[in-house]
Amino acid sequence: MSLAVALTRASEGVAAPLVTVEVHLSGGLPGTSIVGLPEAAVREARDRVRVAIQNTQFEYPNRRVTVNLAPAELPKDGGRFDLAIALGILAAGGQVPREALHGCEFLGELALSGELRPVPGVLPALLRARHGKRCVIVPVENAAEAALLGDVEVRVAHTLADVCAHLRGVEPLPTPDADATCGAVATVPDLADVRGQLQARRALEIAAAGGHHLLMIGPPGTGKSMLAQRLPGILPPLAEAEAIEACAVRSVANEPFDVRDWRQRPYRAPHHTASGVALVGGGSHPRPGEISLAHNGVLFLDELPEFDRHVLEVLREPMESGRIVISRAARSAEFPARFQLVAAMNPCPCGYAGDAGGRCHCSPDAIARYRSRISGPLLDRIDIMVDVPRIPLAELDGARNAGDEDSATVRARVITARGVAMQRAGKPNAALGTREIERDCALGDAERALLQRAMDRLGLSARAYHRVLRVARSIADLAGSARIAREHLAEAIQYRRTGEQS
């Protein structure tokens, strides 16, 4: 019987469902058909595969070739199945041993020369393959990504001929070079560069400790963008599982990624002209957007009011749920999107409202319009709001002031506080659920009365109430205090004023 089977994987969101490629050779008019409702891209695979096989000094069967990709309803886009199809054809014709294909999965697009081209979504495929205990063969250009998981057998290949030599037992393929993955950490800017702004530094530290969303408001050129860029440098490193999740998203987005910094938290700073699709994801083959690329890391929206209002509204849901579902007519995909939002804005259109220089000439109307570009519900989800005012020249000049700590110093405190939270609840404080808040953020009578008064005075929502408690928890953790004391709560409340009061 001239039937052969080769396994490969599709790419669907961050999932990687198994695809079985069945190849049957039969008599009749020579020709090749690919069934299983493949899209145009897979039909093109037919031509690539034929030429690649011929250029690899094998014979393309002079018979009727039927290729079936199963299951039929999966997305089958791109050339990622080329290698599996080519091997299936060769195995069906007896040019490589059929049994040798059984314990393997194959990923890779073929160039006409028979060389293998890299494909997106290798890491998600490996994560799945790990359960099947099969060896995965990938293009050499995907090697760095493939080496991230220690517990999956991976082999890398340059060409179709290499893979065939491996399967015939002539020359085994090499494993990816593990050294590639544990190099130096890429450098990020240091907090020591920022002068003054003690209040904003403090807010940044609390946000880092608990993973809270942060909004910085101030006139131009006071260090808002500088501070935001320095957040990744004080965040705790990613745990392996988190790092793999983050890489899996980058892998499906086909984002180039440097394996040297794969344990570093993602930092995404999309420009305010970015489209909705770029920001939240989309497309006919749904792709992750910036909010998913920022998963387990930081999403920095500089000049927040300049973003399209509709796009900002879409952020509301993932900010609470930590994921985004992209629905298209044909299919929907879900991507993780647990990001920490850091936003910066000026207080008014000219940027100088509230500044001592008296330079602001914006009308109250204009200011109100500017602020209303950010909706109440979005502001309600921001845990910490902080002013970043102009600093006196004396602070900017000369030597570093006592408060100008470097990132390493701040990061050590953040890691300790985050460790406490992880021990207590297994998650950062920003992710605490209502029950966990009741358990871990219990208040004394005096503190409860203080919070009650603040809620009345600031008109806080129930959500804001919970958010204040989460922030207070982080402040107490930084202070090494088991219970939330009055001063911790008072500080947390103070970060809740909305922009109108500045």
Ligand X SMILES: Nc1ncnc2c1ncn2[C@@H]1O[C@H](COP(=O)(O)OP(=O)(O)OP(=O)(O)O)[C@@H](O)[C@H]1O
Please answer whether residues 1 and 22 qualify as being in contact, where contact means their C-beta atoms are separated by less than 8 angstroms: no
Residue 346, binding choice from ligand X, Mg ion, none, Cβ under 5 to 8 Å by partner class: ligand X
Please answer whether residues 209 and 288 qualify as being in contact, where contact means their C-beta atoms are separated by less than 8 angstroms: no
70: how many CB neighbours lie within 10 A of its CB? Answer: 14
Residue 297, binding choice from ligand X, Mg ion, none, Cβ under 5 to 8 Å by partner class: none
Non-local (6+) Cβ contacts of 35 within 8 A are 66, 67, 68, 69
Q: At what angle do helices 160-167 and 82-92 cross, to 10 degrees?
A: 50
Please answer whether residues 155 and 136 qualify as being in contact, where contact means their C-beta atoms are separated by less than 8 angstroms: yes
Q: How far is the CB of 390 from ligand X (least distance, A)?
A: 9
Non-local (6+) Cβ contacts of 256 within 8 A are none
Cα(360)–Cα(213) distance, rounded to whole angstroms? 28
310: how many CB neighbours lie within 10 A of its CB? Answer: 8
225 binds Mg ion (CB under 5 A): yes
In the three-class reduction of DSSP (H, G, I as helix; E, B as strand; rest coil), residue 365 is classed as helix
Please answer whether residues 65 and 31 qualify as being in contact, where contact means their C-beta atoms are separated by less than 8 angstroms: yes
Q: Smaller CB distance to ligand X: residue 238 or 342?
A: 342
**Residues lying near ligand X in the complex (CB under 6 A):** 194-197, 218, 220-226, 344, 346, 391, 396
Cα(502)–Cα(355) distance, rounded to whole angstroms? 10
Cα(301)–Cα(143) distance, rounded to whole angstroms? 33
Q: Smaller CB distance to ligand X: residue 316 or 390?
A: 390
3-class secondary structure per residue, 339-350: CEEEEEECCCCC
Q: How far is the CB of 102 from ligand X (least distance, A)?
A: 58
Q: Among all residues, whose Cβ is closest to Mg ion?
A: 225
Taken in order 212, 213, 218, 222, the sign of the CA dihedral is positive
Which range in 113-121, 224-232, 368-376, 453-461 contacts Mg ion by CB under 5 A?
Answer: 224-232
Q: How far is the CB of 261 from ligand X (least distance, A)?
A: 23
Q: How far is the CB of 386 from ligand X (least distance, A)?
A: 12
Q: Smaller CB distance to ligand X: residue 142 or 229?
A: 229
List the x/- string, 181-220, binding to Mg ion by CB under 5 A.
Answer: ----------------------------------------
Q: Smaller CB distance to ligand X: residue 403 or 444?
A: 403
Cα(288)–Cα(268) distance, rounded to whole angstroms? 13
Q: Smaller CB distance to ligand X: residue 190 or 487?
A: 190
Q: How far is the CB of 203 from ligand X (least distance, A)?
A: 14
Q: Smaller CB distance to Mg ion: residue 224 or 413?
A: 224
Q: At what angle do helices 445-458 and 462-478 cross, to 10 degrees?
A: 130
Q: Smaller CB distance to ligand X: residue 133 or 361?
A: 361
Residue 251, binding choice from Mg ion, ligand X, none, Cβ under 5 to 8 Å by partner class: none
Residue 367, binding choice from ligand X, Mg ion, none, Cβ under 5 to 8 Å by partner class: none
Q: Smaller CB distance to ligand X: residue 170 or 399?
A: 399
Q: Smaller CB distance to Mg ion: residue 224 or 488?
A: 224
Q: How far is the CB of 389 from ligand X (least distance, A)?
A: 10
Q: How far is the CB of 272 from ligand X (least distance, A)?
A: 11
Residue 223, binding choice from ligand X, Mg ion, none, Cβ under 5 to 8 Å by partner class: ligand X
Residue 215, binding choice from Mg ion, ligand X, none, Cβ under 5 to 8 Å by partner class: none
Structure tokens belonging to residue 113: 């020369």
Cα(214)–Cα(228) distance, rounded to whole angstroms? 9
Q: How far is the CB of 234 from ligand X (least distance, A)?
A: 16
**Bridge partners of 298?**
267, 340
Q: How far is the CB of 408 from ligand X (least distance, A)?
A: 18
Where in 77-136 is the site for Mg ion (CB under 5 A)? none
Q: How far is the CB of 214 from ligand X (least distance, A)?
A: 14
CA nearest 102: which of 5, 226, 235, 239? 5
Q: Smaller CB distance to Mg ion: residue 224 or 411?
A: 224
Residue 75: φ, ψ to 5°: -70, 130
How many residues belong to the site for Mg ion (CB under 5 A)? 2
Structure tokens belonging to residue 83: 């290698």
Pairing of strands 109-110, 116-117: antiparallel
Q: End-to-end distance of the chain based on CA atoms, in angstroms?
A: 79
Residue 195, binding choice from ligand X, Mg ion, none, Cβ under 5 to 8 Å by partner class: ligand X
Q: How far is the CB of 302 from Mg ion (least distance, A)?
A: 5
Q: Smaller CB distance to Mg ion: residue 9 or 224?
A: 224
Residue 222, binding choice from Mg ion, ligand X, none, Cβ under 5 to 8 Å by partner class: ligand X
User: Contact positions toward Mg ion, by CB under 5 A?
Assistant: 224-225
